[in-house]
Structure 1
Amino acid sequence: MEAPPARAQPLLPITLPRTIDAIKAYSPCQPLTIIVASYPKSGTTWMQNVVFELVTLKRFRETGERIELDHISNFCPFMENDKSWVFGEDGVAVEGLQGNHAVAHAKVGATIFNSHVYLDMMPSDPSVKLLYMTRAPRDVCNSFYHHLSHQAAEDGGYEGSREEFVRDWSDGKIAFGAWGDHLRSWLNEDGSCKVENCLRVDYADMKADLRSAVQATARHLGMRELGVEEMEDILPRLDISYMKENIDKFEPKSVTWVDKGDGFSFVRKGAIGDGKKEFGEEDEKVFLEGFKKFPPPPGCSGLMGG
């Protein structure tokens, strides 16, 4: 199947043209630069936590220093949040990252970002380690609705009904565009990454065997594999229940959240198959029509069952 032509990517109001320019022009300033990328709600924060644990383990191996997590956004800022960057007096030329991020990165000896933009917007330096997360689209859509419906409207939150969201999501009208387009921007037709410095990690694989996913990520970052004691030390902090209990360390600071009194938490259940359970008959019809318009790479067809 021939890939459809590229479409412009819709973004949140917190992203400006100068923000995209800053991302594209970014030059690594630490020995290790890592970008956790994905279509939203594909396990991004979970992988950010894995990366934090790995880079702090690397630091401990080198210096014996233990670094505690205060907030994941300090160590792994949202790359397309304009407020992550410091611009010059002309308001265009980028001078670097905000001080809290620069301090955190110096502390761990690595620069870490998370991002939801297309691959062609990424820094072109091949030394940057890219991690691309994928997840079953029904779960992505379902989780993204819960997320955006609790995000302030001025920051790009969604105020329509769930049924309206599924339709807009399937039509590629939600921030970050169509899921199929996003995957095609990062992946080849067979589902492999388009660039050698990128590792694709699937959410379901992390759920099935987190240890193997952590080891594969460590190898991609140029680290030696974790020993038994090292793995046993970090695994409890990578558990979804730990992240939910410590939500103050993981809820993004880049947007404002709306409390609707319904018990919403940015870190929800992390379950597989909830999207399929919550989809109604009309949702499923709209969802499948969307994939005719914005198909993912054929090599990602295995994700469609969830």
Structure 2
Amino acid sequence: MTEAELYSVYKGVHVPTHLHPPESLKYCEEFTFRPDDILIVTYPKSGTTWMQEVVPLIVNEGDLTLVLTVPNWDRVPWLEEHRAAQLNLEQRPSPRIFATHFHHHMMNESYFKTKPRVLYVMRNPKDVFTSSYHYYGMASYLVNPGTPDEFMEKFLDGKIMFGSWFDHVKSWINAEEKESMLYIFYEEMITDLKGSVEKMAKFLGKSLSQDVMEKIADHCVFKNMKQNKMSNFSLVPEEYMDQKRSEFMRKGIAGDWKNLLTNAQEQRFNAAYKDKMKDVTFKFMWD
């Protein structure tokens, strides 16, 4: 199926119509935030699933019940997705935890007025590209990626789900409400997950013991989390996600782009990155 059949354009970016029908986007537009809400913000394939596991465990002080019994899309729903309107989120006790793939300018009026707490996760864009390439090949609601060369041009031009990675990252690192934001790198979670848990807990005002942080980090190591049926998307029917083609949670590593990109593709990507990020002074872990 084509872009026109599978995607709609909302606030200037492509969104998959199956996941984000007009009524879901309207719900998100009218959603009322609370100051103590926790919002996980990511560009797709940048660690959302990981954060949907880690953050509830921090908030619940290491109690595994929620993450082992409730699918991640219900325990930490995407506000713009069709499930959100069905979950009575207005009734949930504080602190509520949500996810979004929105760019900064796409957030609603209540967000800018209330300034909930934001955890913004970033990942090396070459790994985002690589993970996206495999994901697009197994999800029926996304346009077939074609060859890596074809998909790379779409990725670099932002003609894919949730638009340009470059625009997304720049919109959030330039956000004015930095006092209510914490920036996290996927790569630092791989390098030192316990340290990342500690950093997030501090930001969220949770005082956790070393044992609890150890327990959370151990549960959330990729290979352990991948076994959790409530998190690995194995509950999604095959007609939407064919995990025989590619697992939704594939490797969870840094540097997998080296297994996909040729030297020429790497050079093409590097040149585009250099051009699009030339005015950015923010220090990224992968630079």
Name the TM-score, length of structure 1 as normaliser.
0.77
Structure 2 CA distance for aligned equivalents of residues 232 and 285 of structure 1? 40
Tell me how far 1:187 sits from its aligned partner.
0.9
| Alignment correspondent of 1:200 | 183
Moved over 6 A (4+): 252-255
Letter in 1 for 2:181: C
Letter in 2 for 1:138: K
* Structure 1 range deviating more: 115-124 or 43-52: 115-124
Letter in 2 for 1:98: L
Gap regions ≥5 residues in structure 2: 1-10
Equivalent of residue 173 in structure 2, options 184, 187, 190: 187
| Alignment correspondent of 2:138 | 150
| Alignment correspondent of 2:82 | 82
Pairs within 5 Å for 1:125-140 = 125-140=113-128
- Give the aligned CA root-mean-square deviation in angstroms: 2.9
Matched, 1:281 2:263: yes
Structure 2 CA distance for aligned equivalents of residues 260 and 233 of structure 1? 29
Matched, 1:119 2:104: yes
Query: Matched residue pairs, number?
Result: 271
Gap regions ≥5 residues in structure 1: 1-6, 86-96
| Alignment correspondent of 1:42 | 46
The 8 Å contact of residues 180 and 295 in structure 1, kept in 2 or not, is answered as yes
| Alignment correspondent of 1:8 | 12
Structure 1 CA distance for aligned equivalents of residues 235 and 165 of structure 2? 24
The 8 Å contact of residues 101 and 162 in structure 2, kept in 1 or not, is answered as yes
Structure 2 CA distance for aligned equivalents of residues 276 and 16 of structure 1? 36
The 8 Å contact of residues 115 and 177 in structure 2, kept in 1 or not, is answered as no
Change (3 A) 1:248 1:196: same
The 8 Å contact of residues 46 and 123 in structure 2, kept in 1 or not, is answered as yes
Change (3 A) 1:164 1:194: farther
Letter in 1 for 2:104: L
SS in 2 for 1:196: helix
Matched, 1:56 2:39: no
SS in 1 for 2:13: coil
Name the TM-score, length of structure 2 as normaliser.
0.82
The 8 Å contact of residues 157 and 164 in structure 2, kept in 1 or not, is answered as yes
Percent of aligned positions that are identical? 28
| Alignment correspondent of 2:153 | 167
Structure 1 CA distance for aligned equivalents of residues 24 and 278 of structure 2? 27
Structure 1 CA distance for aligned equivalents of residues 176 and 122 of structure 2? 11
Tell me how far 1:304 sits from its aligned partner.
5.2
Structure 2 CA distance for aligned equivalents of residues 98 and 301 of structure 1? 38
Tell me how far 1:242 sits from its aligned partner.
0.9
Change (3 A) 1:252 1:288: farther
Structure 2 CA distance for aligned equivalents of residues 178 and 66 of structure 1? 36
Change (3 A) 1:234 1:80: same
| Alignment correspondent of 1:19 | 24
SS in 1 for 2:39: strand
